[in-house]
Structure 1
Amino acid sequence: MGRTVTVATCSLNQWALDFDGNLERILKSIEIAKYKGARYRLGPELEICGYGCSDHYYESDTLLHSFQVLAKLMESPITQDIICDVGMPVMHRNIRYNCRVIFLNKKILLIRPKISLANTGNYREMRWFTPWSKPRHVEEYFLPRMIQEVTMQESVPFGDAVLATLDTCIGSEICEELWTPASPHIEMGIDGVEIFTNSSASHHVLRKAHTRVELVNFTTAKNGGIYLMANQKGCDGDRLYYDGCAMISINGDTVAQGLQFSLDDVEVLVATLDLEDIRSYRAEISSRNLAASRVIPYHRVKVNFALSCFDDACTPASQPIQWRYHSPEEEISLGPACWLWDYLRRSKQGGFLLPLSGGVDSSSVACIVYSMCLQVCSAVQSGNQRVLDDVHKIVNDEVYIPKDPREFCGRVLTTCYMASENSSQDTLYKAKSLAEEIGSYHININIDGAVKAIWGIFNAVTGRMPQYQVHGGSTRENLALQNVQARVRMVLAYLFAQLCLWTRGMPGGLLVLGTSNVDESLRGYFTKYDCSSADINPIGGISKTDLKGFIQYCSENFHLTILRSIISAPATAELEPLKKGHVTQTDESDMGMTYAELSVYGKLRKIAKAGPYTMFCKLVSMWKETCAPREVASKVKHFFQMYSVNRHKMTTLTPSYHAANYSPDDNRFDLRPFLYNASWSWQFRCIDEQVSKLESKEENLEESKE
């Protein structure tokens, strides 16, 4: 009787609707798994078509091409003598399901539909798929003729079943099912399933990785068994970055850890594990054994194949390892950088253009691009031919080899400082110095001529000329004067992005990078269609607080000395006149709230689902040491007024890397209206009544003390 089994899981950088590329990466992962001795290979969720197909799932083409790829997979000699577990959409009785298709030697063993669909936050699986609602029930699925010709099967089992091989039992979960309160692995484990598999498309959020790892390890600690998790990696066409972290666990211990961030398109983890370790572990869990005597058994699909060998009694098993987590600063350095690389190589552009103001936000974006360059040079040095091929296409040079990240940064990043009469010499110097330290191709642009030309047109039509508030103008005039500067910068950014490489005798164009953080978006503290409008924004889901920590990290780890002075300066838009050459305008003063407060408002509004009244009640307690109830009320009212007045701006947000669970992204994540009654009369009245009660209570307490 065999003891040790060798199994493989993987992370693949799949791309929505890239059937050729997806097929190539799946085959490569199976080839690596077999080479390392694995007898079972698990892949990510919907890996054949790519997870992010969205409404393309409605199209019959997506189903057709997925089956065509499946046929190619089963016909390939690479997939012989290994159980292959792949993900794709399947239509059964005119219902579309998110499925695992498990096959061996040109025979489909089981099609297992997803039971619990992800339908919150960024996920809309219920829009395209139906959950399988028949636990432990199996039906007959009639195969398309193109598959019948390969498998010589007319029909196969479809439903909630497990695989019984000659030596063990294997059960499947799909992504969300691990996170549900009644996960399938619970009942499967009680029924004797020893190997659990989970194919995921789980995206990166700052500080999330530990939750996923702990869930997997707790699963096998409580019930015993082997757990394999596969995950999508990279940007498959949207705002999300899937962060890999494939893993293998046994009896509560991690034995194999995949990379969280990597430029490798294919990563395969293989572990050799002893089945007897599971059986002895479970023997002592009496509560599990009692439950097993009452369990409703799963339908078992018999598989005449073993994951182990007869002579493997002395084969060494994989040993437990300690999971290595990244700090939030490292996550910011690596995640958005990998996302940018995927977007750049797949969009077939020549690089990026970044309006670099010398502040924390735009400097953070510059550092993320520099981190991308570091990772590209490291991957090439490690022999990653795919990355080198992509570099050749981007720089249009078939013999170029990136070795120095600063030199490579000069080829793929153009930074520009767009000065006006309101810009300070301090920010000019900081932008220029940072560009020199990271090696970007840097240009200076003065926008005063364009701004004055626009006001000349306005004056010619109306006969009026607005003034800044410091010169006696109204608030409306002051805001209009600032907005014109901001919008001119957007126009110039796109002009230079389109033609900058042309002026240098180089082909292609540049992608414009946005620099608005998640807190400013939440408050609406930016000009609609200004230079925050861009092609993509790597920091649009990251808080100002986290960005400051990231800048400090870059200063210490990338040896960018100018960052020390950038992080210490107050944030400013520099859109109002200077006073004796110095900035008087600051972001926090303009916003009427601090960035730290904004993060709290965002988390309460989105994560805690707090309206104005509930937010006030929570903050009265949270801020009781620093703010009186009436002051808290004033802050909450001001936030909700500004939030509602500016909510319309969310409809035009630049597509941003999703890294915060309080992102206000209207297009995907935050489905709230953009036209509000900004007076919030009923809600604010409830707050005022509560303030009066609290103040009366406080007065009564003071009187009782006297």
Structure 2
Amino acid sequence: MDSDTTRICKIATFNLNQWAMDFEHNKANIIDSIKQAEEAGATIRFGSELEIPGYGCEDHFLEMDTINHSWEVLAEIIEEGWTDNIICDIGIPTYHKSFLYNCRAIVYKRKIHLLRPKILLSFEQNYRETRWFQSWTNIKKIEDFILPKVITDLTEQKTTKIGIAIVRLNDTEFAHEICQEMFEPASPAAELYLDGAEIICNSSGSHHHLRKLNKRLQLITTSTHKSGGVYVYSNQQGCDGGRLYFDGSSLIAMNGQVISQGSQFSIKNIEGVYAVVNLDDIRNYRREIRNKSLRDSDEPEFPRVTIDYNLCQHDFFDLTEPQGEPRIHKPMEEISLGPALWLWDYLRRSGARGYFLPLSGGLDSASVATIVGSMCTLVYQAIADDKNEEVLADLRKITKQEDFMPESPKDVAAQVLNCCYMGTKNSSEETLKRAKKLSEDIGFNFYNVEIDDLFDATKTLFQNMTGKEPKFEVHGGTYLEDLALQNIQARQRMVLSYLMAQLMPWVSEQKGFLLVLGSANLDEGLRGYMTKYDCSSADVNPIGGINKSDLKAFIAYAKDKLNYPSLQDILDAKPSAELRPIEDKTKDSTQVDEEEMGMTYDELNQFGRLRKMGKCGPVSMFKELLQKWKDLTPKEVAEKVKRFFFYYSVNRHKATTITPAYHAEDYSMDDNRFDHRQFLYNTSWEYQFKRIDKLVEYYTEKKKQT
């Protein structure tokens, strides 16, 4: 390469659908991505965070087997020659001086040139990195690292460097951020850019929740806009074994603009994102930033690790141009895609034959069925339009039909989704009609069964045992009797759901079992408006992290997007549990959820956000809502806040057994991962409510004076 040749290179970054602790699968994805990068003419390959073991190993990171297997896999990748001709940046957990670090390994020509440990660990919300890893604190310092025997035996390399350094090539320099570091106020990228790095790579394990991608894009483009340079972002994609869905969106930005962007939701195991860039454009851009040139000489240098390698090896003439506005899905599209692909990963990796859903004809269970319908559409499109052989192989494995070839999304739904309407004398004909119509739109197997005999038998058993007959309130019973009779129906639906999930494939003379889907939304879980161990108890729940308002908007979107016209009737109906006696079965039940809860779903949304994201106790929440709900008196606001905290705390125990749900909101109440609070409360909140009462008097008097 002539010394005066323009510095043009091709960069490759990847969305990888890794699976925690599946080293064979993860290794195959890494190798395939390296192969794709080379075939595309790229000279450097970046991958996602901890891609060898998978990001979501959690307490498996406490096991030495996980660390040893990671190094064994890296040794196999090196031994097979995959890093001989291209620089590879690969994620691996690493022990150094008795501490475990989350590292990037820079590998080229059978040599590990640098281990770059993570500086800032994620320890909030869903993340517990400080439980397993140590933060690297020796900034601008590198140390000797003794390589494990499996590497030394293979390469005869005994040591490498570990620490925060800039990698110097013959024609450019690059450095790293790792995931969380990008979100910090003093992110490393700015200083690395100032010290001469032209390319920053960020390898991430960043999960999806609604409306999150825009923040990432802003941080990346702002970083390169301020300092000039290339920013390469790589992320894991898919469900790697837990509640989170990692939403890809790998991209390459340059000088403040996104020039190449991968999908946020994809059914593919591997998705490459490429860009041909002129590195001289960085120098030209930086010359325009006058203040920067005044600061360079004052900054202490980062240590360098040198690799004898030309990143610019080819004469590319077609540079990758800025793509314009970054692609950001609307929230309703996110609901349609994220939970659907999470369910697909869960299904294809669980060994199940399909899903079973108790379908009530209401909005929540219809939302779950619609998300599965979206999954079926994505699977069909991948097979029919993209000729994706991996997806077809997975579908045939699930259906246990070697020659199965779907001709429509309905063909897929008929194989993987079974729904049952479990009615009682308290159910209306309208909800049954809505459930049937939805089955016709989506194409799933639909069953209808009356469970009154089960209800009557349980009630009779109790009566024979105690000599007392419980009654609904409308028949002269107490509230306690009424609630118990409602719960019998709900819990029997759960028992019947699991029976059908286990035996319906056998009834159809098929092999396998079905996974039971839950359909309790986030707001109901927060309020505790559900029966413990009823049909909201299931194997997985795709809407447990989504609020009712967003579900309504999603149903309105899916009605047209997925062509399910029956959703309009479901959208128009008032949500009802249908557990109390009704006078006219031809009409919807008068048991309306919002009236029974004593609060609207929109109010629950605000309570949830203030409680979790606003970190509000009862008094702080009262003060906040007093400003928001100006049409209410202080006393009315206080009553609503007290009602919420009473029901939240009295039902908090239900969260300890709640179905694992797709994480989609920052005010999720998932007790097991995200929302750590006790489940035994003094539900009177005596001290807090007294404080609210005093504030009510104060603000009421103040309002009179004004």
Normalising TM by the smaller chain, what interval? over 0.9
How is 1:625-664 mapped onto 2 (pairs within 5 angstroms)? Answer: 626-664=631-669
Equivalent in the alignment of 1:497: 501
The CA deviation string for residues 92-150 of structure 1, in whole angstroms up to 9 with x for no partner, is: 01100011011101100100110000110000000000000110111100011110122
Equivalent in the alignment of 1:692: 697
* Aligned AA (2:321): Q
> What pairs up with 1:468-617 in 2 under 5 angstroms?
468-581=472-585, 582=587, 583-617=589-623
CA displacement at 1:566 relative to structure 2: 0.6
Of 276, 282, 294, 1:278 maps to 282
SS at match of 2:679: coil
Distance 1:164 1:574 in 2: 68
Measured after TM superposition, the shift of residue 79 of structure 1 is: 2.3
CA distance in 2, matches of 1:140, 1:78: 25
Say yes or no: does 1:244 pair with 2:272.
Answer: no
**Secondary structure, in 3 states, of the residue corresponding to 2:162?**
strand
| C-alpha distance in structure 2 between counterparts of 1:555 and 1:284, whole Å | 51
In the other structure, the counterpart of 2:331 is: 328
The one-letter code matched in structure 2 to 1:693 is Y
SS of equivalent residue, structure 1 residue 461: helix
The separation in 2 between residues aligned to 1:5 and 1:28, in whole angstroms, is: 21
Q: Does 1:190 align with 2:216?
A: no
**Equivalence for 2:628:** 622
The corresponding residue for 2:52 is 48
TM-superposed deviation, 1:580: 2.5
Pick the aligned partner of 1:318 from 317, 320, 325.
Answer: 320
Structure 2 counterpart SS, 1:227? strand
Bigger drift between 73-82 and 249-258 goes to: 73-82
Alignment pair present for 1:665 and 2:670:
yes
Deviation string, structure 1 residues 301-322 (Cα, Å, up to 9, x no partner): 011001003x73x623110003
Once the 2 structures are TM-superposed, how far is the Cα of residue 270 of structure 1 from its aligned partner?
1.1
Could you give the per-residue CA deviations for residues 604-632 of structure 1, whole angstroms, max 9, x where no partner exists?
000010110000000000010x2111100
Q: 8 Å contact 1:6–1:39 — kept in the other structure?
A: yes
> How far apart are the structure 1 equivalents of 2:43 and 2:563?
46
Cross-structure match for 2:688: 683
1:363 maps to amino acid: A
| Displacement of 1:480 | 0.2
**SS of aligned partner of 1:87:** strand
Q: Which amino acid aligns with 2:370?
A: C
- 1:15-164 superposed matches below 5 A: 15-164=19-168
Letter in 1 for 2:340: A
Partner letter of residue 609 of structure 2? K
Would the aligned equivalents of 1:201 and 1:232 in 2 still touch at CA under 8 Å?
yes
Gaps spanning 5+ residues in structure 1: where? 702-706
Indicate the SS of the match to 1:79: coil
Deviation (angstroms), 1:560: 1.2
Q: Work out the CA distance in 2 between the residues paired with 1:100 and 1:340.
A: 30
Normalising by structure 2, we get a TM-score of 0.98
1:285 Cα deviation after fit: 1.1
Alignment-derived partner of residue 368 in structure 1: 371
Give the Cα–Cα distance (whole angstroms) in 1 for the partners of residues 413 and 405 of structure 2. 13
Matches of 2:417 and 2:582, distance apart in 1: 30
Contact 1:171/1:196 (8 A) holds in 2: yes
Identity of aligned residues (%): 50
Query: Which digits, 9 at most, give the CA deviation of each residue in 1:239-275, with x for residues without a partner?
Result: 0000100000000110111001111000011111011
* Counterpart Cα distance in 1 of 2:584 and 2:475: 15
Q: Does 1:426 align with 2:430?
A: yes
SS at match of 1:485: helix
Q: Per-residue CA shift, 1:491-540, capped at 9, x if unaligned?
A: 00000000001001010000000000000000000000000000000000
Instruction: Say if 2:113 and 2:160, in contact at 8 Å, map to a contact too.
Output: yes
Aligned AA (2:613): I
CA distance in 2, matches of 1:358, 1:476: 27
Task: Give the alignment partner of residue 403 of structure 1, picking from 395, 403, 407.
Answer: 407
Pairing of 1:281-360 with structure 2 (within 5 A): 281-309=285-313, 312=315, 315-322=317-324, 323-360=326-363
AA in 2 matched with 1:646: N
Query: Which residue in the other structure is 2:465 paired with?
Result: 461
Paired residue type of 1:83: I
- Counterpart of 1:704 in structure 2 is none
Distance in 2 (alpha carbons) for counterparts of 1:294 and 1:585: 71
Q: CA deviation at 1:472?
A: 1.3
Alpha-carbon separation, structure 2, partners of 1:385 and 1:654: 33
- State yes or no: 1:254 paired with 2:258: yes
* Paired residue type of 1:609: K
Residues 143-196 of structure 1 deviation map (CA, whole Å, 9 limit, x = unaligned): 111101222211000011110000111001110000011111011011011000
CA distance in 1, matches of 2:399, 2:24: 24
Find out whether 1:385 has 2:386 as its counterpart: no
Does the CA contact (< 8 Å) of 2:47 and 2:89 recur in 1? yes
- Check the 8 A contact 1:218/1:252 in 2, yes or no: yes
Count of matched residue pairs: 698
Q: Are the aligned partners of 2:493 and 2:534 in contact in 1 as well (CA < 8 Å)? A: yes
- Contact preservation (8 Å) 2:633, 2:700: no
- Are the aligned partners of 2:353 and 2:511 in contact in 1 as well (CA < 8 Å)? yes
Aligned mates of 1:304, 1:150 — CA distance in 2: 21
Secondary structure (helix, strand or coil) at the match of 1:658 reads coil
Instruction: For 1:14, give the aligned amino acid.
Output: Q
Task: Describe the SS at the equivalent of 2:252.
Answer: strand
The CA deviation string for residues 378-412 of structure 1, in whole angstroms up to 9 with x for no partner, is 11121111111101111111111123101210111
Counterpart check, 1:3 vs 2:7:
yes
Deviation at 1:368, TM superposition (A): 0.5
Q: C-alpha displacement at 1:700, in angstroms?
A: 2.1
Q: CA deviation at 1:332?
A: 0.6
1: CA distance, partners of 2:613 / 2:245: 20
**Structure 2 CA distance for aligned equivalents of residues 202 and 668 of structure 1:** 16
Determine the C-alpha separation between the residues in 2 that align with 1:655 and 1:548: 22
Q: Give the 3-state SS of the residue equivalent to 2:398 in structure 1.
A: helix
Partner amino acid for 1:503? V
Q: Deviations over 1:429-483 (max 9, x none)?
A: 1101101111101101111111111111111110001110111111100100000
> Structure 2: how far apart are the matches of 1:402 and 1:667?
38
**Distance in 2 between the 1:559 and 1:258 partners?**
27
Q: State how far apart, in whole Å, the 1-side matches of 2:13 and 2:391 are.
A: 23
The CA distance in 1 between the partners of 2:294 and 2:473, in whole Å, is 78
| 8 Å contact kept, 1:116–1:131 | yes
Distance 2:188 2:358 in 1: 50
RMSD: 0.9
Is the 1:108–1:151 Cα contact (8 Å) retained in structure 2?
no
* 1:78 match: secondary structure: coil
- SS of structure 2 residue aligned to 1:293: helix
Q: Which moved more, 1:691-700 or 1:170-179?
A: 691-700
Task: Tell whether the 8 Å contact from 1:358 to 1:431 is kept in structure 2 after alignment.
Answer: yes
